[in-house]
Amino acid sequence: MSVESKVRAVTTYRLTEMKQRGEKIAMLTSYDYSMAKIVDAAGIDVILVGDSAANVMAGYETTVPITLDMMIYHARSVVRAVERALVVVDLPFGTYQGNSKVALDSAVRIMKETEADAVKMEGGEEIIESVQRILSAGIPVMGHLGLTPQSIHKFGTYAVRAKEEAEAAKLVRDAHLLEEAGCFACVLEKIPAALAARVTSELAMPTIGIGAGGACDGQVLVVHDMLGINKGFSPRFLRRYADLHTVMTDAVGRYIADVKEGDFPNEKEQY
Ligand code: KIV
């Protein structure tokens, strides 16, 4: 395989072009090979190996416990499946806040050990030194502002962020800081739609919204939520495109019944 043929079709540069053309960016999470293969083949632009893996894959209540090694395991599995989409990997909590050298080491591990395309980091001014250091090593960075779940113990709630003027003004400043540093895009999570619209119009880098309204340049959802695998999570911003929980429960129930009744396997299903 030539070097050129290994470059996936969606690049960070292509996302900028999409914003310039007014073409919306579709992003979903994936954490494993089989799901990433389906999501990529369906034509998604960006796959996020989110630290939401802590919740939907590992069953933790928050994203705080997931480790760099766990993220690398998920990201490797996803990268092996993906041919077209840009693959972005979350730097997990504790691997980039506070010390930009540690941040760079974490990002380099992700890039070298997973062959993903970029990393994502939560926060603005507080982490800008780490963002700059990672970018200076040639690693593309996606920002993440608004509700930043890694700070849940500071916020104490997953409610809408930046409703007050002071927090909204800080978010706008942070978005500009991230753009000036060289981030290629920024997730805006659970903020008022009008604020997301303002940030989106002021920035040249694309914004990707989750619970941030329709004016963002793109949208992201957690794939288990939008497929209805995960039924216990129903925020207003979530649109469910399938009810896989019911489909899977029904399939497993029928399998159990067939086994118990001696109906599976039948003669055609044996050697
Ligand atoms: O980890 C994640 O899934 C995310 C998205 C919700 C943006 O950060």
Tell me the pairing of strands 46-49 and 118-120: unpaired
Q: For residue 42, what are the contacts with CB-CB under 8 A and spacing of at least 6?
A: none
* Choices 3.30.2350.10, 3.30.420.40, 3.20.20.60, 3.40.50.720: CATH for 12-226: 3.20.20.60
* Ligand 1 neighbourhood includes 117 CB (under 6 angstroms): no
Task: Indicate which residue's Cα is closest to atom 2 of ligand 1.
Answer: 50
Strands 25-29 and 218-221: parallel
Q: Which residues participate in catalysis according to the annotation?
A: 189
CA 147 and chain centroid, separation: 13
- Residue carrying the six token digits 């989409």: 85
CB 121 within 8 A of CB 166: no
Query: Is residue 29 within 6 Å of ligand 1 at its C-beta?
Result: yes
Atom of ligand 1 at shortest range from CA of 149: 8
* Banded model confidence at residue 232, pLDDT cuts 50, 70, 90: confident
pLDDT value for 6: 58
CA–CA separation, 72 vs 158, rounded Å?
26
Report how far residue 84's alpha carbon sits from residue 107's, in angstroms, rounded to the nearest whole number.
22
Residue nearest to atom 8 of ligand 1 (CA): 50
The answer, yes or no, to whether residue 8 has pLDDT greater than 80, is no
Question: What digits encode the pLDDT tens for the residues 110-139?
Answer: 999 999 999 999 999 999 999 999 999 999
Chain centre distance of CA 137: 22
Q: Which two tokens stand for residue 128?
A: 């800008």
DSSP state letters, the chain: --HHHHS-S--HHHHHHHHHHT--EEEEE--SHHHHHHHHHTT-SEEEE-TTHHHHTT--SSSTT--HHHHHHHHHHHHHH-SSSEEEEEPPTTSSSS-HHHHHHHHHHHHHHH--SEEE---SGGGHHHHHHHHHTT--EEEEEES-GGGHHHH-S-SPP--SHHHHHHHHHHHHHHHHHT-SEEEEES--HHHHHHHHHH-SS-EEEESS-TTSSEEEE-HHHHTTS--S---TTPPP---HHHHHHHHHHHHHHHHHTT-SS-GGG--
Count of beta carbons in the 10 Å neighbourhood of residue 92: 24
CA 97-130-102 angle, 5° bins: 65
Note the pLDDT tens digit of each residue in 212-227. 999 999 999 999 999 9
- pLDDT category of residue 230 using cuts at 50, 70 and 90: confident
pLDDT tier at 177 (50, 70, 90 boundaries)?
very high
Pocket test for ligand 1, best of 49, 51, 161, 219 (most atoms within 8 A of CB): 51
Q: Does ligand 1 lie within 6 Å of residue 52's CB atom?
A: yes
pLDDT at 5: 54
pLDDT of residue 231: 83
Question: Are the C-beta atoms of 137 and 101 separated by less than 8 Å?
Answer: no
